[in-house]
Amino acid sequence: MQNLIDLRSDTVTRPTPGMRAAMAAAEVGDDVYGDDPTVNRLQAVVAERFGYPSALFFPTGTQSNLAALMTHCGRGDEFLVGQDAHIHTSEQGGAAVLGGMMPQPLQHAPGGEIPIERIAHAIKPDDVHYVRTRLLALENTLGGRVLPADYLRAATDFAHGRGLRAHLDGARLFNAIVKLNVDEPAAAAGFDSVSLCLSKGLGAPAGTVLLGEDSFIGQARRWRKALGGGMRQAGILAAAGLYALEHHVQRLAEDHDNAQRLAAGLRAIGLEVEQPHTNMVFVDIPENHVAALSAHLAERGVLACITPHTRLVTHLDAPRSKIEAALQAFRAYPDWSSESSGSW
């Protein structure tokens, strides 16, 4: 496993020796009673760093997003969300299934933003026929793209002006922070709640922190328990998160550099590659090569979800040498120009 080059996601990292040592040494208690000192420290550190009154530790980003949505919206309320946002595409519709909310998906602009006029158009009038629109949910980074700070400010100001609340799925917000070299409060400004994952890119084995006002976090804590997320001696995981925050944030720049290198190398083969913003590279693979390329890469120890629009993700466990080896495997694919994958 250690020698595989796994470019499927930045969630595949394993805790480093230093992180494991911090986990082993963690002081713990029962967090449902609020007794875990390491969880409490993580929550205090993240709230302080981002300039929010309160924070709550969750096992996963999915649960943190769902608890946030359930806290902002009641049964029969609507939230506006990007068509490609993880909340809409990849969380099993939990907000509708478990929270009784109605998602209103909206098309993104090419940069990932949802144009303000589209948001304005989607807000329902106060009419007995319509659901009540309560929340705008954005995601940053979105598919590796960093949303511009002035857009985020304008969108959250607009939402608030129309009586909506604003939630940010910041699963990879640290990538945006490092890319733009902005401070943490600035990156999270304008939102009523922000969900930050520690297990994507930062290398922790699990854990997400939700930020918000005291009363919001109090209610989110109730939903977390109802959703089965009340963990006990969770300080072992929180210690990994604290270690990640201390040691693995600034190094995200290496992942961004590696993504640029990977993109350039794939382009040199003649493939169509989007210019990466952060740690995700999107490359078009001719449909007839998908299965054969997948098998070819797997034989060379490169794990990648090959599709016609392939996403490759750089991370802590894919240093420069592995990126070079992955490129070598792509270059060794026998015949990019063949019409059929069976012909080589």
Ligand X SMILES: Cc1ncc(COP(=O)(O)O)c(C=O)c1O
Restricted to residues 241-260, the positions that interact with ligand X (CB under 6 A) are none
Q: Which of 197, 211, 236, 273 binds ligand X (CB under 6 A)?
A: 197
- Residue 15 CB contacts under 8 Å (≥ 6 apart), including other chains: 23, 203, 204, 205, 240
Q: Are strands 54-58 and 309-313 parallel, antiparallel or unpaired?
A: unpaired
CB of 229 to ligand X, least distance (A): 11
Number of residues that bind ligand X (CB under 6 A): 13
Binding mask 22-41 for ligand X (x = CB under 6 A): --------------------
Assess 193 for contact with ligand X (CB under 6 A): no
Pairing of strands 193-197, 5-6: unpaired
Question: What would the x/- binding string for ligand X be over residues 85 to 104, using CB under 6 A?
Answer: -x------------------
Q: Which of 198, 226, 192 is nearest to 39 (CA)?
A: 198
Cβ neighbours for 115, distance < 8 A, ≥ 6 positions apart: 109
Residue from 146, 171, 238, 266 binding ligand X (CB under 6 A):
171
Rounded Cα–Cα distance for residues 265 and 96 (Å): 42
Surface-to-core class of residue 198, CB atoms within 10 Å of its CB (0-12 exposed, 13-18 middle, 19+ buried): buried
Least distance (Å) between residue 58 CB and ligand X = 8
Would you say 146 and 184 are in contact if contact means Cβ atoms under 8 Å apart?
no
From residue 8, give the alpha-carbon distance in Å to each of 186, 268, 271. 30, 21, 19
Binding segment toward ligand X, per CB under 6 A, in 13-21, 55-63, 152-160, 266-274: 55-63
Q: How far is the CB of 153 from ligand X (least distance, A)?
A: 21
Least spacing, CB of residue 86 vs ligand X, in Å:
3
Looking at residues 108 to 147 of the shown chain, list those that interact with ligand X (rule: CB under 6 A): 139
Q: Summarize as ranges the residues that interact with ligand X (CB under 6 A).
A: 11, 60-62, 65, 86, 139, 169, 171, 197, 199-200, 208
